[in-house]
Amino acid sequence: MTDEKYGQSKPVDVLNVRAMSAKRQYVRDLVNRGDAEALSLLVECLCDESWFLRDLAENVFPELGATGARTLLPLVEGGLWFSRVSAAHVLGRMGYHPAVPALLRLTEDLNQTVAEAAREALIAIGRQRGAVRIAHAVFRLPPDARRARIRDMIARDRQLADRIERLMRSEELMNATDIESLTDDSTAVRATEEGVEWEVLTGPPPPQAEAEEADGEQP
């Protein structure tokens, strides 16, 4: 009877493995294509009921850079609850600064899983040189909502929350109109934080920046 049991389950197991392998290959093929249709199909993967397929798509989206990230913004605003979660995961992982306003709105989502994913995504962006972008957006919230978002961040990363509050006290930064070009590396941001160890605030520079600095030091 034991042999019969295993004999019955084996075809199912084989089919499952084949299905998983096919999904991996499908997602990889879409990334390799990288055209508009492929991007649209990858977004559809994030809307699929299959957790496995959504996870595959989440993991490869960062390879598509800003072009891929932009396609996720409509999903943040109006996708299914699990699609909104996936979009928030990806945007946070990518540190995509333009997503900050949409993610802030998502923190008010009635679905707590969605709201939590948005809060974690904001922290991830803040840790990737996006603190000033968050400060600029939070500053524009109504007072109650502003305090709620700061409390959320304090609970997750007190140092980042303190920095965002400090940036919000800069009238020059909060009144900046060209926010797209304003990053944590900007001269204006650095000027508000004189006397504070820069790498403590922003983390070490990315490998490319380190290499460029090393080249500049060579005689």
Is 219 inside any structural domain?
no
Q: How do residues 169-183 score in pLDDT, each as one tens digit?
A: 999 999 988 888 788
pLDDT given for residue 195 in this prediction: 55
Shared domain check, 184 and 115 = yes
* DSSP-derived secondary structure letter, 154: H
Is 48 inside any structural domain?
yes
Q: How do residues 79-109 score in pLDDT, each as one tens digit?
A: 799 999 999 999 999 999 999 999 999 999 9
Shared domain check, 144 and 74 = no
Verdict on whether the full-model pTM lies above 0.85 = no
Kindly provide the b/e burial profile for residues 95-133, where b requires at least 16 CB atoms within 10 angstroms of the residue's own CB.
bbbbbbbbbbebbebeeeebbebbbbbbbbbbbbbbbbb
pLDDT given for residue 150 in this prediction: 96
Shared domain check, 107 and 57 = no
Name the residue type at position 103.
L
pLDDT at 6 over 60: no
Is 206 inside any structural domain?
no
Shared domain check, 100 and 80 = no
Cα 158 vs. chain centroid, distance in angstroms? 19
Shared domain check, 127 and 154 = yes
* DSSP 3-state of 79: coil
Residue ranges making up the domain that contains 36: 11-87
DSSP tally for the chain: helices H, then strands E: 14, 0
Shared domain check, 126 and 43 = no
Query: Which residue carries 């990315």 as its tokens?
Result: 206
pLDDT at 133 over 90: yes
Average pLDDT over residues 9-32: 77
Shared domain check, 145 and 75 = no
pLDDT at 31 over 90: yes
Could you tell me what percent of the chain has a pLDDT over 70? 81
Q: How do residues 38-79 score in pLDDT, each as one tens digit?
A: 999 999 999 999 999 999 999 999 999 999 999 999 999 887
Shared domain check, 115 and 63 = no
The domain that holds 38 is classified in CATH as 1.25.10.10
Shared domain check, 68 and 42 = yes
Question: What are the Cα distances from residue 210, in Å, to 12, 69, 109, 213, 215?
Answer: 51, 25, 39, 5, 9
Number of domains, the chain: 2
pLDDT at 120 over 50: yes
- Among the candidates 49, 67, 87, a domain finishes at 87
